[in-house]
Copies of this chain bind each other. A is one copy, B any other.
Amino acid sequence: MDRVAIIGASMTQFGQRDAWIRELLAEAGQAALADADVSPDEIEHLYVSNMASGEFEGQTGVPNALAHDLAAMPAYTARIDQTSSSGGAGVYAAWQSVASGASDMTMLVGGEKMTHRSTAEATDVIASLTHPVEYKHGVTLPSFAGLTARLYLDTYDAPRESLGKVAVKNHKNGVDNPHAQFRKEVDLDTVLDSPVVADPLRLYDFCPITDGSAALVFCPESVAREYTDDYAVISGIGGATDTHVVHERADPTTMGGVVNSSEIAYEMADLEPDDIEVAELHDMFTILEFLQSEDLGFFEKGEGWKAVDEGVTDRDGDLPINTSGGLKSKGHPLGASGVAQVYEIYKQLIGDAGERQVDADVGLACNVGGFGNCVTTTIMESR
């Protein structure tokens, strides 16, 4: 079967943006069309990854607005929502649209506009994805992260400093990402001395609230060859859920959705964890980078922190993780994040990552919704 290729990509400046959701989506969409050298009337399917434009902005129907703004009508459109993994779910939807033969040219644009709302309001919208009983008890995603971090440090005898080193690494990478929200290095003391948010996690263990958008153009590999020599292919992709009620998980330091989605992706790609040469993980909280790096099979359970400590996941390490700066420094506009992860891997695989470039022909993106409630894992290869 013809593999699904990515022939163009874009991302907007992430951060606090003076633009509404439909403007952000159109900005990334237009840039991706230009990057792919595809005209709007060639687009057959147009997907939008977005969690909550209705809740944040009172605007729904954004896929239609985008089709209109890009002059892509009558392209079919739909919105794909999987909370904070809406972007990964959009990648899966776009992949399916091409692999099923429904579309020979699919665009995915992921975006979210959040910073016009207070951090408390934005956190509350995100927390609406939790089980009603957990929500009523005031559990938010940061609180899950704090509880899980404490359990991880205790179970695997990891030092508190190891979490801080994730923030230091990803901020360092973000300096070289022109689209990142924060382009500044932080030192370990700054992280460790920042205000407590959910003990033991502190301010610098968390990603920010962000506006932004990212876009990708997909087509069959046979079509891709007509457009460019610089494309990448999706060789494996899978998605999986874990319990909606987080406290029902047998071991909260294991993310079942990561384990199960990656098994599907590895099998489809006929690859092993050892074959991955660069990865973007969902570091919404520093602790999540440890969990995913283990549950994806990169490191033994309880050893992810050592890999960060030893520099294995640095940009010049054996397995660079979050060369983009990750959600931590790049920012986390919910619906855009999973799309921006694939943007980074795509740029790395076609050799267009600038200062961030590493030597890699196989990459992986892991996008986590909720607190691991649903996960999409995408494996990509250079052509």
Contacts and interface: CB of A to CB of B under 8 A. Distances in A.
A101 B92 CA distance: 12
B64 A240 contact: no
A77 B241 contact: yes
Contacts of A164: none
A78 B374 contact: yes
Nearest to A55: B54
Given A77-B374, A78-B81, A59 B99 contact: no
B128 A59 contact: yes
B67 A78 contact: no
A367 B60 CA distance: 18
Q: Give the interface size class of chain A.
A: 35 or more
Contact of A93 (B78, B238, B240): B78
Interface in A240-285: 240-245, 256-257, 260-261
A340 to B, nearest CB: 18
A166 interface: no
Contacts of A237: 102
Secondary structure type dominating chain A contacts = mixed
Which of A51, A76, A125 has the largest number of chain B CB atoms within 10 A? A76
A373 to B, nearest CB: 4
A244 B76 contact: no
Interface stretch (A129-137, A211-219, A305-313): A129-137
Contact of A73 (B83, B241, B370): B241
Nearest to A66: B244
Contacts of A68: 241, 243-245
B63 A128 contact: no
B82 A80 contact: no
Interface in A15-59: 45-46, 51-52, 54-55, 58-59
Most buried by B among A101, A129, A374, A376: A374
Interface string A74-89: 1111111111000001
Contacts of A370: 61, 64
A100 interface: yes
A78 B82 contact: yes
A146 interface: no
Contacts of A131: 65
A67 B128 contact: no
Contacts of A73: 240-243, 256
Interface in A344-373: 369-370, 373
A82 to B, nearest CB: 5
Nearest to A61: B129
B76 A78 contact: no
A97 interface: yes
21 contacts: A1-B101, A45-B239, A52-B54, A54-B128, A55-B60, A61-B373, A63-B374, A64-B129, A67-B244, A68-B241, A68-B243, A73-B242, A73-B256, A74-B241, A76-B239, A77-B241, A78-B80, A78-B82, A96-B97, A96-B99, A102-B237
Given A61-B370, A63-B82, A76-B374, 17 more contacts: A51-B60, A54-B128, A60-B128, A60-B129, A63-B374, A64-B241, A68-B244, A68-B245, A73-B240, A73-B256, A74-B256, A76-B240, A76-B261, A80-B80, A95-B102, A96-B96, A97-B100
| A-B complex: 4 closest residue pairs judged by Cβ atoms | A61-B129, A76-B239, A99-B100, A68-B244
